[in-house]
Structure 1
Amino acid sequence: MSTRQVSRDIVIDASPSEVFDLLADPRRHGEFDGSGTVRSAIKGPDRLSLGSSFGMSMKLGVPYTINNTVVEFEQDRRIAWRHLGHHRWRYELTPVDGGTQVTETFDWSDSRAPAVLELLRYPATNTRAIEKTLPRLKAVVEGRS
């Protein structure tokens, strides 16, 4: 049985709090999204916290909206959200020499339909998206975008 999660990481030349501030602002998620699906925040708080709900305008072929809930939150260390399908997008921040190691994880271990996600190749698709998101996140935080 697999762990039903995929992760990648990158080191960003910034403090964990600088990185976390960007991740906790749903209005800015479209700036670093590498999947090409996130458009903009349409409802919710300016700053996320545990239990916060926020809606996003998305596009995967056709436009749609998705509502997310923050299910993991440790200030400047970890934040994760999920939607109705219960799979999660998680960011973990670790201080390292040279800045902050950011690990992004797509976790479908609690998904309501893990076999469907696997059949539709969402783990591979999300791995490729993570591999594009992390350099974009780095560029935004470091002020190069």
Structure 2
Amino acid sequence: MTTTETSITVSRVIDASAKDIFDLLTLPRRHQEFDGSGFVRADEKSQRIQGVGDVFVMNMEGEHMGGEYRMYNHVTAYDENKMVGWKPAQEESKDEPGGWEWLYTLKAEDADHTEVSLTYDWSKVTDPKLLPIFPLVSADQLDESLNLLAAAVTNP
């Protein structure tokens, strides 16, 4: 685990190919299965992520937002079988992400084992109303996301 003032990164080796993990990460309808924060409820009929610039919508729930809400996730990183990341935007400003990013980096160790790193970075958050809530997701919750990802990739 690596932690700075504005980011947390956790890593683990998952017993699956980088391709299988990437295929799961790029399918928003399955994101609830590996959400260690407990906020993700379901995708809003989003298509598979195909590249930088794509936007997928997630239905969420959390006390920090007063219950149910939607996030518009703008894909910021895409390198097939190696990396995928996105910056969320709240519904009222759905075209302008708030400055935090989720980034999954995959490093194949061999055909059936991949080191997966998950980075939660809020270094570009500038809204003074949002800053006090960061980090909203803990390192333990990020670790749980990777544990759940490992389970989900073995149960297609």
State the TM-score, normalized to the length of structure 1: 0.87
**What is the CA–CA distance in structure 1 between the aligned matches of 2:128 and 2:8, rounded to whole Å?**
13
**What is the CA–CA distance in structure 1 between the aligned matches of 2:81 and 2:50, rounded to whole Å?**
12
The yes-or-no answer on 1:130 pairing with 2:142 is yes
Asked if the contact 1:106/1:126 (under 8 Å) is kept, the reply is no
**What is the CA–CA distance in structure 2 between the aligned matches of 1:103 and 1:114, rounded to whole Å?**
29
Q: Deviations over 1:79-108 (max 9, x none)?
A: 100022121000000011560000000011
**What is the CA–CA distance in structure 1 between the aligned matches of 2:44 and 2:12, rounded to whole Å?**
29
Aligned residue number for residue 110 of structure 1: 124
SS of the residue aligned with 2:8? strand
Question: How many angstroms does 1:8 deviate by?
Answer: 0.4
**What is the CA–CA distance in structure 1 between the aligned matches of 2:20 and 2:128, rounded to whole Å?**
34
Name stretches of at least 5 consecutive residues in structure 1 with no aligned partner: none
Question: How many angstroms does 1:49 deviate by?
Answer: 1.9
Q: Given residue 56 of structure 1, which amino acid in structure 2 is its aligned partner? A: M
Aligned residue number for residue 100 of structure 1: 114
Aligned residue number for residue 29 of structure 1: 31
Asked if the contact 2:29/2:45 (under 8 Å) is kept, the reply is no
SS of the residue aligned with 1:123? coil
**What is the CA–CA distance in structure 2 between the aligned matches of 1:137 and 1:59, rounded to whole Å?**
20
**What is the CA–CA distance in structure 2 between the aligned matches of 1:107 and 1:115, rounded to whole Å?**
17
Asked if the contact 2:102/2:120 (under 8 Å) is kept, the reply is yes
Query: How many positions carry a matched residue from both structures?
Result: 141
**What is the CA–CA distance in structure 2 between the aligned matches of 1:29 and 1:75, rounded to whole Å?**
18
Paired-residue identity, %: 34
Aligned residue number for residue 73 of structure 1: 78
**What is the CA–CA distance in structure 2 between the aligned matches of 1:3 and 1:125, rounded to whole Å?**
14
**What is the CA–CA distance in structure 1 between the aligned matches of 2:61 and 2:87, rounded to whole Å?**
17
SS of the residue aligned with 1:18? helix
State the TM-score, normalized to the length of structure 2: 0.81
Question: How many angstroms does 1:10 deviate by?
Answer: 1.1
SS of the residue aligned with 1:45? coil
